[in-house]
Amino acid sequence: MLLAVDIGNSDVVIGVWGLQQWKQIWRIRSLPEENALYYQTRLLNYFLEAGFRFSDFDRVVISSVVPSLTGLFRELLQALFGFKPIVVTIDTFPTLKVQIDRPHELGSDLFANAVAAYTKYQQNCIVVDFGTALTFTTVSAKSELLGVAIAPGLKTAMKALSANTAQLPEIPLFLPSSALGKNTVHAIQAGILLGYVGLVEALLNQIRKELNGECIVVATGGLSSIIQPLHSHFTEVNMNLTLDGLRIIGESTL
C-alpha cells in the first residue's frame, strides 16, 4: 500500500491507497508548534483503529507547504516505516515541465494537483483549489505547468475582515440567494461568497483567453462544494486531487 501525506497550512491530510482506492483519509490540524509525538500519537491511533500495519506499506509520499513540519514528518515517517519517504519537489515527476520563472518556489501541493489533472485528462487543464488560498494552476496539453494565480481563500478573506472589525459576528460559509444584504452576516456572505463567484469566473475566462481555447477545469479543496453556481464551470470536483497526484508521483518512482 501507499501512504500519501499532504501537509497544508490548515490541515495535514493523510491518505491510505490500496486495491485501487483510497481506503482511509484522515485529517489532523497543522500545528507547527507541536512536536513529533503529537503527530505520531494520532497516526498510531488511526492505524490501530483501521487495522493497518506499517509493514503493509512500500511507499510513503509527502507534500508540504509548511517548512517547519517537512523535516518533522520526514523523520517521523522514516522511523515508523523503516524507509525514506518521497518528499515531493518539481524534480520528482520530470514528465511535467514547470514553465515559471522560479520553479522551486512552486508549492508541492499545486505541483501534485497539476500532475493528477494532466495524468487523467492530458489536455489543457485548470485546477481550482479552494483551500487556505484560492489557487488556479494551469497545465497545457503538452505536459507543461504554465502558471498559477493565487487569491485569499474564502475563510482567509472572512478572517481578515473580522480581524479588523471588532463588532463582526462569526460568519457561516453559506451562499446567500441575494446580493442585497439585509443584515451584517448576509452582507458579508454576499460580498465574499457571491464575490468569489465572479472572481473565479473572471479568472477562468482570462486563462481560457490566454490559452486560445477551451480547457478542462477541475475543482478541489475542502471548500470546493460551497459555491454551487460555479459547479457548471467544472468538469470534475475531486476532493482528493492532491492525494491522487501524490499517489501518481509515488507510483512513478517504482
Instruction: Supply the residues annotated as catalytic.
Output: 109
Which of 64, 61, 153 has the alpha carbon at shortest distance from 107? 64
Do residues 138 and 126 make contact, with C-beta atoms less than 8 angstroms apart? yes
Within 10 angstroms of residue 250's Cβ, the number of other Cβ atoms is 23
Task: Say if residues 242 and 224 touch (Cβ distance below 8 Å).
Answer: no
Backbone angles phi, psi at 102, to 5 degrees: -125, 80
Residue position matching grid coordinates 489543457: 124
- Widest distance between CA atoms in the chain: 59
Q: Which residue has the cell 478541489?
A: 220
Q: Which residues contact 110 (CB under 8 A, 6 or more apart)?
A: 127, 129, 135, 137, 148
Q: In angstroms, rounded to a whole number, what is the distance separating the alpha carbons of residues 148 and 108?
A: 13
Q: How far apart are CA 242 and CA 109, in angstroms?
A: 6
C-alpha cell of residue 202: 473572471
Q: How far apart are CA 22 and CA 18, in angstroms?
A: 6
Q: How many CB atoms lie within 10 A of CB 156?
A: 16
